[in-house]
């Protein structure tokens, strides 16, 4: 399945300058907005690819994978720009954590950051950074909101909200909710919950 730029985030990356900045900062919001080819290797990548960043003079930008292939570029094996459902390592870790939180009951969520990190096989600091980068909120704040919704008997959890409104993990990291908006709406800390 070929990657197509998302309408919301592609408007942010129309100029060569904004696209280059997205690549150098590996901006999560640019994940599926455009692709870039490296002339010296004839490989095209996503802007969030973890591979070494090429010299600017060797970079050419594309809106679709088809355009890059027509110019003789081949797909990166690391970021898999041809696979629309491919998520990077951080996004995969966050997706596993959210799945754990969705499957487990509220009492199981109280194990905190260390327990979650251990269960998905990463360090607590890596989980904290990956979650904050991808979701725009800390693990602790996400769990508190999730528990609040469960305790109030609300029908839609944060995970269900994202799924029911057609959002995927990449969209979640693009700033649909800013950290300030999430913090403004977050409840008071829950006793015994280790914050991320």
C-alpha dihedral (88, 8, 148, 119), degrees to nearest 10: 0
* Domain contains 27: yes
Domain end marker among 75, 101, 133: 75
* Domain contains 115: yes
What pLDDT sits at residue 104?
62
Maximum mean pLDDT: which of 98-107, 128-137, 151-160, 186-195: 128-137
Residues 23 and 109 in one domain: no
Is 70 exceeded by the pLDDT of residue 187? no
The contacts of residue 12 (CB under 8 Å, 6+ apart) are 18, 29, 30, 33
Q: Please, what sign has the CA dihedral across residues 39, 17, 31, 62?
A: negative
Is 80 exceeded by the pLDDT of residue 64? yes
* Domain contains 102: yes
* Domain contains 196: no
146 token code pair: 């999730």
Q: Could you say which of 22, 27, 38, 45 is catalytic?
A: 45
- Which segments of the chain are extended strands (E)? 35-38, 43-45, 59-62, 74-75
Biggest CA-to-CA distance, the chain: 58
* Domain contains 84: no
Catalytic residue flag (residue 128) = no
As a whole number of angstroms, the distance between CA 117 and CA 122 comes to: 5
Residues 103 and 159 in one domain: yes
As a whole number of angstroms, the distance between CA 91 and CA 93 comes to: 5
Q: Could you say which of 49, 93, 117, 143 is catalytic?
A: 49
Residues 34 and 65 in one domain: yes
% residues pLDDT > 90 (the chain): 20
Domain coverage including residue 116: 89-185
Is 80 exceeded by the pLDDT of residue 65? yes
Q: pLDDT band at 101, cuts 50/70/90? A: confident
Query: What's the whole-number mean pLDDT along residues 24-32?
Result: 78
Residues 110 and 175 in one domain: yes
Is 50 exceeded by the pLDDT of residue 75? yes
* Domain contains 50: yes
As a whole number of angstroms, the distance between CA 121 and CA 68 comes to: 36
Residues 102 and 165 in one domain: yes
Residues 152 and 108 in one domain: yes
Query: What's the whole-number mean pLDDT along residues 21-39?
Result: 85
In the chain, helix, strand, coil percent, each to 5?
50, 5, 45
Number of domains the chain contains:
2
Is 70 exceeded by the pLDDT of residue 152? no
More confident residue, 87 or 47: 47
Catalytic residue flag (residue 79) = yes
Catalytic residue flag (residue 49) = yes
What pLDDT, in 10s, does the model give residues 108-146? 566 677 888 888 889 999 888 888 877 777 888 877 777
CATH code: domain of residue 66: 3.40.10.10
Is the model's pTM score more than 0.85? Answer: no
* Domain contains 26: yes
Catalytic residue flag (residue 76) = yes
Helix (H, G, I), strand (E, B) or coil at 153: coil
What pLDDT sits at residue 50?
80
What pLDDT sits at residue 44?
96
Q: Could you say which of 35, 76, 143, 170 is catalytic?
A: 76
Residues 62 and 124 in one domain: no
Q: Could you say which of 22, 35, 65, 79 is catalytic?
A: 79
């Amino acid at each position: 399945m070929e990657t197509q730029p998302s309408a919301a985030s592609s408007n942010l990356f129309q100029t060569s300058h904004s696209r280059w900045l997205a690549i150098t900062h590996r901006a999560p919001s640019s994940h599926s907005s455009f692709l870039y080819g490296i002339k010296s290797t004839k490989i095209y990548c996503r802007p969030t690819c973890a591979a070494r960043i090429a010299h600017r003079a060797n970079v050419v930008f594309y809106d679709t994978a088809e355009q890059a292939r027509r110019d003789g570029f081949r797909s990166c094996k690391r970021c898999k720009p041809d696979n629309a459902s491919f998520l990077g390592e951080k996004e995969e870790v966050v997706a596993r954590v959210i799945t754990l939180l969705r499957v487990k009951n509220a009492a199981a969520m109280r194990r905190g950051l260390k327990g979650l990190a251990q269960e998905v096989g990463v360090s607590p600091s890596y989980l904290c950074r990956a979650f904050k980068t991808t979701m725009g909120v800390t693990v602790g704040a996400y769990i508190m909101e999730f528990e609040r919704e469960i305790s109030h008997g609300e029908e839609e959890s944060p995970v269900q909200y994202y799924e029911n409104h057609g959002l995927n993990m990449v969209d979640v990291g693009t700033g649909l909710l800013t950290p300030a908006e999430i913090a403004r709406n977050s409840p008071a800390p829950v006793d015994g919950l280790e914050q991320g």
